[in-house]
Amino acid sequence: MRYPCLGLDHEDPLVNSTATIHFPCFCEFLKEVRPNAKKYTLEDYFRKNFDPGILPFFTEEIGLSPEELDYEFRYWQSYVKPRVPKVFPGMREILERHKAQGGLITVVSHSMKDAILRDYRENELPAPDAVYGWELPPEKRKPAPWALFDIMERFGLSASDLLMLDDLKPGYDMARRAGVDFAAAGWAYDVPEIESFMRRNCDFYCKTVSDFAALLQEG
């Protein structure tokens, strides 16, 4: 097995959640709290999540106050609760094959742990061995490398045993800081500047789920 442990982002490498849940939630929230703000497209939203990241986007560009950030979090959680995103075709088979071969599946995400575990159950995916979500203190969330170091310590792994799969720069930055190989997932959206950055800088760029499956079967 090339990588005994997979570190997976949740939104958009695994489940189609930004386009179907998180972006519509953002649009409704913004319409309520900033009715005169500029209109963002889905591609804009991916760009902002890519760089500078969701919190700087909210605080520095939109100008949300601490109280508004608290409200946004509650609004987001209420929106997510009844909505289950669908797994991208082919990802279930990858996870099942990896687990059948004795591999570990871990999740490092900006979604909440409870929602991640629900999505795994509802999509009938193999249960992850560890989940690190937004409930962590800010200093331990992506792009901080804490979760990857904890995975290595918890399961007795070295950095070369892990592969991180993510579609955005915070995951890339986290993997680089931890010395872990990084595969960029490019199948959830088509934003040329994000793809260009990922192709130039990542260890692997996977345009499709099939590309990711082939990567895991190499070596």
pLDDT tens column, 29-60: 999 999 999 999 999 999 999 999 999 999 99
What percentage of the chain carries pLDDT values higher than 90?
99
- What integer is the mean pLDDT of 176-185? 98
- pLDDT of res. 218: 85
Q: Where are the alpha helices (DSSP H) in the chain?
A: 23-33, 42-50, 54-56, 66-80, 91-100, 113-122, 146-155, 169-178, 192-201, 209-217
Task: Look up the CATH number of domain 5-16+87-217.
Answer: 3.40.50.1000
Asked whether the predicted pLDDT for residue 108 surpasses 90, the reply is: yes
120-136 confidence digits (pLDDT tens) = 999 999 999 999 999 99
- For the chain, the average pLDDT equals 97
- pLDDT of res. 219: 62
Domain boundaries, the chain: 5-16+87-217, 18-80
